[in-house]
Amino acid sequence: MASAEAIRKELQHTGKYMMQYDLAWGNAGNISARTEGDRYVVTASGTFLGELEEADLIECDLSGNVYGAEGRKPSKETPMHRAIYESRPEIGAVLHASPFYTTLIACSDLELPSNMFVETMYYLERIERVPYYHPGSDALGEGVREKAKLANVLLLENHGVVVYDTSIREARMALQTLEVASRMLITSMSAKVGIQGLGPETERDFLEKAGYKPRRNWSL
């Protein structure tokens, strides 16, 4: 695992990346990464992801303790982050945001297909929905916990999305893939251009044999 300092720097980079590529806006969104043992760092409440300072990343543990915050509070969405780390020990980073096209799908009854292209087959192999709960509530944390083992992408209805993976980089790539796929789907519908996805056998063959990336272990 990378050092705590390196993890903090990568989170700062990720915040800028998310703003640059329209994966987040304003002070909406919060991100975190596991450091060591049962500890992780998460953005402070009210932070702007595009300009994260060292003090904007607060260390917490899975018991709910906060370290060295100097009067700052961790994001109110911390229960959601903690639920994922507790449910999935292999997860190294959690990104929560409300990118435009993805959030549009989260506010609709549209289903996002995973069979459009290579990246969607891998990163979007499984997507689950979490019913609406108020942001930052324990109920939302528990709603996320219920679905955390079923997928690495959770659409939060009428709210946004939470994406998580083994590393910050993988989570970042999954989030961008999700937004591109969402934009492609909605644009194709508006233009009345049908998307011809790959068949289930082809998709399964890709995941098992193509060697693009090792297939995820869903037996957790």
Reported as a single tens digit per residue, the pLDDT across 90-149 is 999 999 999 999 999 999 999 999 999 999 999 999 999 999 999 999 999 999 999 999
Q: Which secondary structure element, helix H or strand E, spans residue 60, and what is its range? A: strand 57-61
Average pLDDT over residues 16-24: 96
User: Token pair for residue 82?
Assistant: 């903690």
Reported as a single tens digit per residue, the pLDDT across 31-86 is 999 998 899 999 999 899 999 999 999 999 999 999 987 889 999 999 999 999 99
As a whole number of angstroms, the distance between CA 185 and CA 108 comes to: 13
SS3 104: helix
Q: Is 181 exposed, middle or buried (0-12, 13-18, 19+ CB in 10 A)?
A: buried
As a whole number of angstroms, the distance between CA 28 and CA 99 comes to: 10
Rounded to two decimals, the pTM is: 0.95
Domains and CATH numbers, the chain: 4-210 (3.40.225.10)
As a whole number of angstroms, the distance between CA 136 and CA 121 comes to: 31
